[in-house]
Structure 1
Amino acid sequence: MNEQLLGEWETEVEADATRVRTRFPAAAREIGRSPATTDPGAERVEDDVRGRLLEALARGADGATVDREVHDLYRFGDADERRAVLRGLHRVEPAPAEGWAADLVHDALRTNDPRLVAAALGPYGAAVLDDDAWRQAVLKCLFVGVPVDLVHGLDARVDDRLLTMIASYADERRAAGREVPADAERLLATTDTTTQPGQER
C-alpha cells in the first residue's frame, strides 16, 4: 500500500470534501488492492484505504456534507465501493446524526450479494438495526451463504425468537428435502437444546 500517497489523499479530502468523490473509486487502482476473493468477510487493503478516506472526510466536513458525500459514494459506487462504505460507517466520527446511514444498511440487506449483506452487519449495522430487523438479517445470511461469524456481536444478541425462526427455517428445508446450512445447525446445536419455541431460556 502506498502510504505516502494515501496520506496526501487524506489531507486533500480533509480540506475539500468533494475530493472524496474522485479518490474513493480510485483507491484500489492507485493505492493498493488485495487479491480477488469470493470470501464476503475478507479483509481487503482497498477497504481500509477507503475507510481512512471516510475518516478524513468526517474530520474536515460538517455533518450535512458528510451525510451527503457518503450517501453519494454508496449510491453511485460499484459493489466493491458500496461494500467499503458499509464497512467504514462506524469509522465516521463524529456521526452526522443518530441513525444517519441506516437506510444504506437496509438497502444492502435487500440485495442477495453476500459481500454487501456481510458488510451491512458490521459494527454500524449492528448498532442501528432494531431486534426484528437484525433477526431477519441473520436469516438473510443463512439464505445467501454469509457465515454468521461475520455478524458483529452475534453471540451477545442471539435470543429465543431468533432461534425459533432458525429452527422453523431448518424444518422447512428438511421437509423440502433440502440441506440445512451448517451455520443454522451450529447455532441451534450450541444453544440450550432443551428450549422449546415460546419458552424462555
Structure 2
Amino acid sequence: MSFSIQLFEKIKQYASPKEISWIEAKINGNLQTLQTAFVATPRFISKNPIQSTDIINDVCINEWPLDRLVRLYLLTLLNSTDKEAYTKTIDTLFETAENNEAVALISSLPFLVFPDYWMLRATDAVRSNNGLIFDAIAFQNPYPKQHFSELAWNQLVLKCIFNDKSIHRIQGLNERANQELANSISYLAHERWAAGRTIPAQAWRLVSRFMNDMILSDICTLFLSQNSNDNIAAALVCNETDFLAAKEELKKYFELYQSVQNEQITWQTLEA
C-alpha cells in the first residue's frame, strides 16, 4: 500500500463527508492545483487532532491536526516525474509559508521525493528561532536520523539540550550518539556549572558508550549533586558503560546501584 493510500485511509477516519469531498476534488489535480489546495486547506479542513499510534513511513502522526495530515497527503500526490517542476512547486510553498504551512512542510520531509534536495530546508529548520518549526524537524520526524551529517545531527541534539527540550522524542537518538556529541555535552555542562546552572539530566544518556576520564569526572560531579535526577543519570550511565572505573564508581552509591540493578530507575524515569 502506498503512503498516499495509507494517509487517505487515516484521513477518512477523522474527516467529515464534506471535507472528504473537498479532498477528492483535488486528487487528480496538476501541480498548480495541488499547490493552491495546500495553501487553502485550513479553509476547508478542521484542526481536529489525530489520536493514533499508527506509524506511516516511520512517522508518528499522533496529535497532528487533521489539516496538517491533509497537507501531507496533498504533497504525496505531486507528480515528481519532472524533478525541476516538482522541486520548484515545493520550494515556492516553503518560500511563501506562514507558520502552520512551514510546520506541515517540515513534518512532510520524510515523504518528499529527492530527499537530499531538501537538506538545506531541514537544517534551516534546526537554526530557526521559531519553536514550532524547530520542533517539527526535531520530533516525530525521521528525516534527521536518516539524512543529517554528524555535525548537523549534533547541532540538533545540542539545541534541544540547550533549550531544555525532551530529547527522548528525537528519533534515532541512541543510534546516532557519537563521541563528538558526548564531548560537547561535557563542555556544555562545564559552562553551565561555572555559571551556577545545570543541563537536563537526560542529556547524559548520550555519553554512556563514549566514556573517558574527562566524562567520568563529570559523572562523579553528578553523583554529588543535590538534584536527584543528576544522581539517577550518573547511576544509569555507569551501569550502561563498559568503562570499568565508572562501574566501580557506581558501587560506592549502594542505593542507586541497587535501584539500577533492579530496574527501579531507567531513562524513562527522567522523561517526565
Q: Compute the RMSD of aligned alpha carbons.
A: 2.9
Equivalent position of 2:118 in the other structure = 101
Q: Is the 8 A contact 1:173 1:179 kept in 2?
A: yes
Measured at CA, do residues 131 and 3 of structure 1 come closer, stay the same or move farther in structure 2, by a change above 3 Å? farther
- Counterpart amino acid of 1:99? D
Cα distance, 1:197–1:160 mapped onto 2, change above 3 Å: farther
Residue by residue over 1:26-70, the C-alpha shift from the partner in whole angstroms, topping out at 9 and shown as x without a partner, is 3233212046xxxxx9533222111111111146x6322221111
CA contact (8 A) 1:21 1:69 kept: yes
Please give the per-residue CA displacement for 1:48-99, whole angstroms capped at 9, x wherever unaligned.
111111111146x63222211111112111111111101111112xx2x351
Aligned pair 1:151/2:165, yes or no? no
Q: 1:86-137, CA deviations, whole angstroms, 9 ceiling, x for partnerless residues?
A: 1111112xx2x35111110121111122322222232223322111111111
Alignment partners' CA distance in 2, 1:141 and 1:69:
31
Which residue of 135, 138, 142 corresponds with 2:157?
A: 138
**Count of residues in Structure 1 that have an aligned counterpart in Structure 2:** 190
In structure 1, which of residues 30, 41, 49 is the aligned counterpart of residue 70 of structure 2?
A: 49
Is 1:18 the equivalent of 2:18?
no
Output the CA distance in 1 between the equivalents of 2:164 and 2:42: 26
In the TM superposition, residue 20 of structure 1 has moved relative to its aligned partner by 2.7
SS in 2 for 1:155: coil
Does structure 1 residue 64 correspond to structure 2 residue 84? yes
CA change 1:7–1:107 in 2 (3 A) is farther
Structure 1, gaps ≥5 residues long: 36-40
Q: Is there any run of 5+ residues in structure 2 with no aligned partner, and where?
A: 1-13, 50-61, 217-240, 243-272
> Which one has more relative contact order, counting CA pairs under 8 Å at least 6 apart?
1
Q: Structure 1 residues 141 and 10, CA, compared in 2 at 3 Å: closer, same or farther?
A: farther
Q: Say which of 174, 179, 198 aligns to 2:198.
A: 179
1:2 maps to 2:15: yes
Give 1:154 deviation, angstroms: 1.1
Question: TM-score, normalization: structure 2?
Answer: 0.60
Partner of 2:43: 29
Corresponding letter in the other structure for 1:133: A
Q: CA deviation at 1:185?
A: 4.3
Larger-Rg structure: 2
Alpha-carbon distance between aligned partners in 2 of 1:34 and 1:167, rounded to the nearest angstrom: 42
Q: Answer yes or no: is the 8 Å Cα contact 1:102–1:125 preserved in 2.
A: no
